[in-house]
């Protein structure tokens, strides 16, 4: 990824002695001492040993990843649970490097799969507050249900994945369409519906969650051979639910207007920073039409007047550049990994617009 700019006008070491001592603790040594104990004591040793073993297993496999403190004191290196159109996982670090470092509240009214939010959390942890929202009810309601009923949702997903794993390719495709039809039925309860959302999001074509005019999910099944056997990471999903359920986080279903007007109202009381990544404009599209984009630009004027700093990513075209011409405009060259067409993946350029000066050096 490349950023360019235009002006606003155009292992622990051990001693030999320690190694000598460690050689005494062989399996034979351990077994001879345990079987010399009474039944109750042997049972206690067994329980303790299993506990230690579980801790070791949980700690293995972390490699060289960095880990960060969650709201409940566990370690976490979160990633989005799903792929999402417009997801920013690949550019999250580059973008957040350009954020100011002295805000108290992070606001994201087009939060999507939360790639940017997770990168911000890795840097700021629970030192700041997070106000997140999106207008997609499928996305928000699924995450809210996961937060409130983590074990139940993940149990439903595990059951689906287990059944899925028994089938060949043709049967897996049939299973997918059956589950999709179930999701689109109104009688599905919130826990089942959330589990179906995450399962379908991870198994649909190119990771695109698409709905028809009746608001029914209609994306076909993805490439079976490229879908991971476990479909998603349950440990990561648990981390996401734990963190988003913390007191510092508020996740709500809303369009962009309400959260941004609230930012303006609170401007004198909190140091807020707003990151905006609206759906890309397409002629005739109803997801975020040009009228909404013009209204958003007016609200950005109001945010600037209230001395609230913000950053926005949007489509790189002349029409959009003219809309934001009064502010700092940069160009973000990036790879696209989620597309509705197989040949739709590649490289693209986005506008990166700010109402504050950023240092690209």
Using N-to-C axis directions, what is the helix angle for 137-148 and 234-244, rounded to 10°? 90
For the residues 263-289, what does the mean pLDDT come to? 85
Q: For residue range 224-238, what is the model confidence (pLDDT) as tens digits?
A: 888 888 889 999 999
* Coil/strand/helix, residue 35: coil
Residue 25 has pLDDT above 60, yes or no: no
pLDDT of residue 87: 54
Residue with tokens 């001492």, as numbered in its chain: 33
The DSSP annotation for 252-272 comes to: EE--SHHHHHHHHHTTTT--E
pLDDT of residue 288: 79
Residue 66 has pLDDT above 70, yes or no: no
Higher pLDDT, 297 or 29: 297
Residue 249 vs residues 6, 129, 208: alpha-carbon distances, Å: 35, 6, 26
Domains and CATH numbers, the chain: 68-131+254-354 (3.40.50.150), 145-226 (1.10.1020.10)
User: 7-21, 80-94, 186-200, 264-278: which has the minimum mean pLDDT?
Assistant: 7-21
Residue with tokens 């287990």, as numbered in its chain: 162
Predicted TM-score of the model (pTM): 0.76
Higher pLDDT, 208 or 151: 151
pLDDT of residue 71: 30
For residue 104, name the pLDDT band (cuts at 50, 70, 90).
very high
Residue 67 has pLDDT above 80, yes or no: no
Mean pLDDT, the chain, integer: 79
Residue 90 has pLDDT above 50, yes or no: yes
For residue 333, name the pLDDT band (cuts at 50, 70, 90).
confident
HSE-CB of 5 using CA atoms within 13 angstroms: 11
Residue 182 has pLDDT above 80, yes or no: yes
């Amino acid at each position: 990824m490349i950023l360019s700019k235009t002006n606003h006008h155009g292992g622990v070491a051990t001693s030999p002695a320690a190694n000598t001592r460690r050689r005494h603790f062989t399996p034979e040594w351990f077994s001879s001492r345990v079987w010399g104990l009474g039944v109750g004591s042997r049972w206690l040793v067994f329980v303790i040993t299993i506990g230690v073993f579980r801790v070791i297993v949980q700690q293995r496999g972390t490699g060289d990843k960095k880990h960060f403190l969650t709201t409940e004191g566990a370690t976490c290196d979160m990633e989005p649970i799903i792929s999402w159109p417009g997801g920013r996982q690949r550019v999250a670090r580059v973008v957040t490097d350009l954020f100011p470092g002295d805000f108290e509240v992070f606001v994201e009214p087009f939060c999507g799969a939360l790639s940017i939010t997770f990168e911000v959390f890795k840097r700021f942890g629970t030192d700041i507050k997070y106000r997140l929202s999106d207008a997609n009810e499928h996305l928000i309601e699924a995450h809210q249900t996961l937060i409130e009923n983590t074990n139940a949702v993940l149990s439903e997903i595990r059951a689906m994945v287990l059944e899925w794993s028994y089938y060949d390719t043709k049967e897996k495709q049939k299973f997918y369409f059956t589950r999709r039809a179930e999701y689109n039925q109104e009688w599905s309860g919130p826990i089942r519906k959330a589990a179906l959302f995450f399962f379908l999001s991870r198994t649909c074509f190119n990771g695109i969650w698409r709905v028809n005019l009746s608001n029914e999910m209609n994306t076909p099944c993805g490439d079976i051979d490229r879908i991971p056997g476990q479909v998603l990471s349950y440990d990561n999903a648990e981390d996401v639910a734990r963190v988003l359920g913390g007191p510092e986080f508020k996740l709500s279903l809303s369009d962009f207007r309400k959260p941004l007007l609230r930012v303006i109202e609170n401007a004198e009381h909190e140091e807020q920073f707003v990151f905006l990544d609206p759906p890309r404009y397409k002629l005739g599209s109803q997801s975020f039409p040009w009228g909404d984009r013009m209204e958003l630009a007016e609200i950005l004027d109001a945010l600037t007047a209230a001395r609230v700093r913000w950053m926005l990513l949007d489509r790189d075209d002349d029409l959009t550049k003219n809309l934001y011409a009064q502010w700092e405009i940069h160009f973000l060259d990036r790879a696209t990994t989620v597309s509705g067409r197989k040949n739709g993946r590649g490289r693209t350029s986005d506008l990166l617009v700010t109402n504050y000066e950023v240092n690209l050096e």
